[in-house]
Amino acid sequence: MDVIELELRNAMSEPGCPVCRLVERFERTEIETILYEHPNDPEVRREFRGSGGLCTYHAWKVLHLALSNPLLGPHGVSVIYEDVLRSYLSGKVGEDECFLCRLSREKERTLIESIADRLPELLDAYAESPSILCRRHYEEILKLVEDENLKTRLEEVQKEKLRELDARLVRLIESFDYRSEEKPSEDEKRAVIEAVEFLVGREVGPHSRRRERREKRWPLRLR
Ligand SMILES: [Zn+2]
Ligand SMILES: [Zn+2]
């Protein structure tokens, strides 16, 4: 078993989409590394300036991570955004794609291809795991699987997981009935979160996919 397979198996051991989870972890690590080690790195600064301070989603994620982690704090992020602000004041408006969008899209692509490649080894583990690939990641993996038998098995596994999730959600709804004497189990309480996660994925990855590129909506120029 290689490192990637191990990483995938670990991500499958928890509820929710393993691809989304790994992209989320990747983004967090990238941001923390930048804030810990590279706020003055010319390359990092160029990337931030180039995109006018990142897309809205990633900029707030950077800020939130910086301000919520006492080990990071406001220093690194202030240094970075002072540089972007000064660049704006000197008349330069970055319109490049946000580099965290770019990096997370690449990471996502690698993960999807890795799962498709290793599906013969991973499918049983996936079937038995509590994880459920979100709709988009599931469909992208399915597109890459060429073996028809394997494809059919993945489809069956996914359908079974979704039927089980639906049944849990129904039980959760029933538990809200005032005549119900049963309290919902932890698995049932999580069902609505898992249903949303399946349908729309976690809030990670390339931002441009979800909303219009915000940077395009910033036609501010200093006159
Ligand atoms: Zn996903
Ligand atoms: Zn972004």
Mean pLDDT across 56-60: 95
Summary mean pLDDT of the chain: 90
Euclidean distance between CA atoms 9 and 18, whole angstroms: 9
Tell me what percent of the residues of the chain surpass a pLDDT of 70. Answer: 92
Using pLDDT thresholds of 50, 70 and 90, give the confidence band for residue 159.
Answer: very high
Mean pLDDT across 183-212: 82
Distance from Cα 179 to the centre of ligand 2, integer Å: 47
Residue 2 has a pLDDT of: 87
122 has pLDDT over 90: yes
Identify the nearest ligand to the CA of 60 by its number. 2
Distance from Cα 205 to the centre of ligand 2, integer Å: 8
Identify the nearest ligand to the CA of 58 by its number. 2
Mean pLDDT across 136-149: 97
More confident residue, 100 or 178: 100
What would you report as the CA-atom Rg of the chain, rounded to the nearest whole angstrom?
21
Query: Which residue(s) pair with 16 in the sheet?
Result: 131
Report the range of poorest mean pLDDT among 40-54, 132-146, 193-207. Answer: 193-207
Identify the nearest ligand to the CA of 61 by its number. 2
Using pLDDT thresholds of 50, 70 and 90, give the confidence band for residue 209.
Answer: low
Identify the nearest ligand to the CA of 23 by its number. 1
Tell me what percent of the residues of the chain surpass a pLDDT of 90. Answer: 75
Distances from the Cα of 32 to the Cα of 41, 62, 69, 77, 101, angstroms: 14, 8, 10, 11, 16
Distance from Cα 21 to the centre of ligand 2, integer Å: 17
Mean pLDDT across 115-137: 97
- In the structure, ligand 2 is a single-atom ion and the residues with CB under 5 Å from it are 55, 58, 98, 100-101, 207
9 has pLDDT over 90: yes
Distance from Cα 126 to the centre of ligand 1, integer Å: 14
Distance from Cα 196 to the centre of ligand 1, integer Å: 11
205 has pLDDT over 80: no
Residue 207 has a pLDDT of: 67
Report the range of poorest mean pLDDT among 44-48, 103-107, 139-143, 210-214. Answer: 210-214
Distance from Cα 204 to the centre of ligand 2, integer Å: 9
Question: Do residues 101 and 61 make contact, with C-beta atoms less than 8 angstroms apart?
Answer: no
Residue 145 has a pLDDT of: 97
Identify the nearest ligand to the CA of 51 by its number. 2
Report pLDDT digits (tens) over 94-116. Answer: 889 999 999 999 999 999 999 99
Distance from Cα 79 to the centre of ligand 2, integer Å: 19
Residue 164 has a pLDDT of: 97
Distance from Cα 109 to the centre of ligand 1, integer Å: 11
Q: How far is CA 181 from the centre of its chain?
A: 38
Distance from Cα 152 to the centre of ligand 2, integer Å: 35
215 has pLDDT over 60: no
Distance from Cα 136 to the centre of ligand 1, integer Å: 6
